[in-house]
Amino acid sequence: GINYTHDGIQYYYPRISEWRGRAIYGKEFSKAVLSSEINVNIHYPHHGSEEFTKEYGPNPKVFEIMGAGGFLITDNVQGVLDLFENGKHLVIYNTFAGMVDKIRYYLANNSLIAKIAAAGKEEVIKKHTWPIRVKQAIEITKTGRNIF
């Protein structure tokens, strides 16, 4: 594993070497998510513009982490708060310092982690699966109106 300290937070990743340097998918991804107390999502700039990224919306990792049952802390991008409730389904940060503060808070209050992760998974399964999206796309195609 890897053990280090940054900004006063002690990090230990017993399994990171198992996944380091390569993409992981499916059951292996779920295993990685569930073996982490906190999953942090950072939206990378699209087309070289952080502003474009903020307007682009949540990336698939938001849905994948929550759908796997992981506790998610993610940056605030357009649309994420239209889909999920901050503090109920996931946790939103606006700055790097804010992210660090939230990590510290939830590590100190880890009883909230399982509660938020369970609510997030339930919300994803209830409203954000591929079959639901296909039905919504068909409805939009038939009616010509946005149902979101």
In angstroms, what CA-CA distances link 82 with 29, 72, 79, 91, 99?
26, 16, 5, 14, 20
SS3 120: helix
- pLDDT per residue over 93-128, tens digit each? 998 899 999 999 999 999 999 999 999 999 999 999
Q: Which amino acid is at 147?
A: I
Q: Is the pLDDT of residue 1 over 80?
A: no
Mean pLDDT of the chain, nearest integer: 82
pLDDT at 124: 96
Tens of pLDDT, residue by residue over 129-142, are: 889 889 988 888 88
> Mean pLDDT across the stretch 82-89?
96
Q: Residues 113, 144: contact at Cβ < 8 Å?
A: no
* AA letter at 18: E
The torsion of the CA quartet 119, 40, 43, 70, rounded to 10 degrees, works out to -30
Contact present, 62 and 80 (Cβ < 8 Å): yes
Element (H, E) at 39: strand 39-41
Report pLDDT for 3.
46
In sequence order, the 6+-apart residues with CB closer than 8 A to the CB of 71 are: 36, 37, 38, 39, 90, 91, 106, 113, 114, 116, 117, 120
State how far the Cα of 112 lies from the Cα of 25, in Å rounded to an integer. Answer: 27
Task: Say which range, 18-22, 35-39, 119-123, has the weakest mean pLDDT.
Answer: 18-22
In this model, does residue 14 exceed pLDDT 80? no
Angle between helices 111-127 and 60-67 (to 10 degrees): 110
Q: How confident is the model at residue 72 (pLDDT cuts 50, 70, 90)?
A: very high
Whether the pLDDT of residue 52 is over 70: the answer is no
